[in-house]
Amino acid sequence: MIKLTMPDGSVREYEKGIKAIDVAKSISEGLARVILAASYNDKTIDLQQELTEDGTIKFLKFEDEEGKHAFWHTSSHILAQAIKRIWPAAKLAIGPSIANGFYYDIDLDYRIVEEDLPKIEEEMKKIVKEELVLEKFELPRAEALKFVEEKGEIYKAELINDLPEDAIISFYKQGDFVDLCAGPHLESTKKPKAVKLLTIAGAYWRGNEKNKMLQRIYGITFEKAKELEEYINMLEEAKKRDHRKLGKELGLFFMSEEGPGFPFFLPKGTEIKNELIKFWREIHKEAGYVEVETPIILNRHLWETSGHWYHYKENMYTTIIDEEDFAIKPMNCPGGMLVYKNSPHSYKDLPLRVGELGRVHRHELSGALHGLMRVRTFTQDDAHIFMMLEQIKDEIKNVANLIDRVYKTFGFNYSVELSTRPEDFLGEIEDWNMAENALKEALVELGLDFKINEGDGAFYGPKIDFKIRDCIGREWQCGTIQLDYQLPQRFELEYVGADGGKHRPIMIHRVALGSIERFFGVLIEQYAGAFPTWIAPVQVKILPISDKFNDYASIVKKQLEEMGIKVELDDRSEKIGYKIREAQLDKVPYMFVVGEKEAESGNVSVRERGKGDIGSMSIADISSIIINKIKSRENDSPMA
């Protein structure tokens, strides 16, 4: 017999060798119908896997990340089987699940085009209707290699050749189709009924541009047509909100072939970026941070000390100055270590919270560049907190509260993930255990729900990641808190303790926005360009009905500017309807229409974004409303 611990803490006994699906059935037939996979001793498994030892078990549904993985991984196999049915000569490379769906890379002389996708979808739907059972089997490496070579699957053979000689290789069979795969998968092809193939792209085998270019087909599947329809609608909404499109239309930023991956910010974009920085500085000053600035270029010795020269050099831009190697910083941390070392510290100085809006450069592959979301230079809103062991938990809580304040200001919901010690870690296990416990306790005391990512921490310490969810349901990785014992040791940081002796501080790396540029891009899409009044690059646009009211409009403009309101005057000789439509396209929060009646009364006719005409108001009254929104940082975007 084996004992299985359920998610609620209860323990049940079963015959050794029972399948995961049968455990689910013993609980509820209804549960067994909706689950996709299981987590057994923290490892995701097929429902047909036999359980042979005591442990914990959790059943996974589509709302679980691991459940989606099994669902979409199986869908990628269905796609591959459909392709092989239509084009038997196709050679298969890899077909993983991804954050939103799946893809498969194939080598085929025939060039697949958009018009072919419906034909592939229909074949996939046939496979779904056939309800083919997925059967796992294993072969020794030599037999596995012979098996794929006989089928002409040269890419699978290459993958197997990279595995150890004594490796046992797993395959999955569904009907007449077999694929090399570690799993896990659904029990059969029955569930992915709603199918949509999205795009076709080129992809170098193994991401190496020296290898052959393959054809990559992206897809998405759901069990119900309604879920697919909702997803397609979300994609259409995402297209409307694309920050690259809106950035160009609203005159915020542009990218140039003279600097791929290096964004140019235009006046309006710079206004928004500066407002973000102003907000950042304000909340950090309130939270007891000091701000520093470190050089962009530092010598090789520094990067060797930090470990970046050996572990990150391929992503760094390097140069030679006075016959010595230098690097443009890819991150701010090593410079922050020198700031700490510049002066002696006592335990009375700690915790020392040091922030930096540092410009960093990283060599991203050209194919990975994507507007402001993935660039080669960005401003990282870094902070390094130096502290004593007993201060860890309180500082983690302080940072989490600051990040919470930031995200709530912009109307974001978020999820929290705790990543623990990886296999290739530095330092002592005791330090890691202590650090992980401190992070867990801080999150529990804050009442934050969090997911644990076992083994996904940085090599120098565990971390907490904050993933924000925008108004159409997409997740973005922005904030992070990383505990680090290693850099203080590498740089021999010290403080004098209450006992008069020298001690090593512990350090937190953390970002709230992550990257100012990336966060800016997320905000463009969150608000569809209709920024809240406080951050809008133009808060009021004044629209005179005709040229003879331009003088009064100029007086109003000056009054608003003196109150600190960002204002533009549209004094073009155009009809008022045209001016209003232009201002609407610019997504300006307020329009002041002025004509004869307004000039005589000293008022303005106000149009508010999302509401239209709200009537005639005195300049003092409407200005007071706008200024209050700016000061309170009210999230009044109609699109959020």
> Helices 550-562 and 619-632 sit at what angle, rounded to 10 degrees?
40
> What is d(CA 316, CA 362) in angstroms, rounded to the nearest whole number?
6
Is 380 considered catalytic here? yes
Is 243 considered catalytic here? no
Beta-bridge partner residues of 43: 40
Q: How many CB atoms lie within 10 A of CB 38?
A: 25
Is 333 considered catalytic here? yes
Helix, strand, or coil (residue 507):
strand
Burial of 323 (0-12, 13-18, 19+ CB in 10 A): exposed
Instruction: Say which of 46, 179, 382, 484 is annotated catalytic.
Output: 382
Is 509 considered catalytic here? yes
Token readout for 409 is 């200001």
Beta-bridge partner residues of 606: 592, 615
Instruction: Say which of 81, 174, 380, 526 is annotated catalytic.
Output: 380
Is 463 considered catalytic here? yes
Beta-bridge partner residues of 354: 290, 384
Instruction: Say which of 361, 463, 566, 579 is annotated catalytic.
Output: 463
Per-residue CA distances from 169 to 37, 38, 148, 493 (Å): 21, 21, 11, 48
Sign of the dihedral through C-alpha 35, 41, 45, 46: negative
Contact 172, 183 (CB under 8 A): yes
Q: Which residue has the tokens 């002696």?
A: 344
Residues counted in the chain: 640
Q: Which residue has the tokens 């442990």?
A: 55
> What is d(CA 503, CA 386) in angstroms, rounded to the nearest whole number?
12
Contact 219, 198 (CB under 8 A): yes
Is 482 considered catalytic here? no
Contact 403, 413 (CB under 8 A): no
Token readout for 2 is 């084996």
- DSSP label at 252? S
Is 382 considered catalytic here? yes
Instruction: Say which of 69, 284, 362, 566 is annotated catalytic.
Output: 362
Q: Give the pairing of strands 502-503 and 495-496.
A: antiparallel
Q: How many CA atoms lie within 13 A of 212 on its CB side?
A: 13
DSSP one-letter string for 122-180: HHHHHHHHHTPBEEEEEEEHHHHHHHHHHTT-HHHHHHHHTS-TTPEEEEEEETTEEEE
Instruction: Say which of 77, 353, 509, 579 is annotated catalytic.
Output: 509
Token readout for 230 is 């909702």
Distance of CA 14 to the CA centre of its chain: 41
Instruction: Say which of 73, 333, 566, 609 is annotated catalytic.
Output: 333
Token readout for 535 is 């951050």
Closest to 184 measured CA to CA, from 93, 78, 97? 97
Q: Which residue has the tokens 């298969």?
A: 92
Q: Which residues of 544-558 are buried (b: 16+ CB within 10 A; e: fewer)?
A: bbeeebbebbeebbe
Residues involved in catalysis:
333, 362, 380, 382, 384, 463, 509
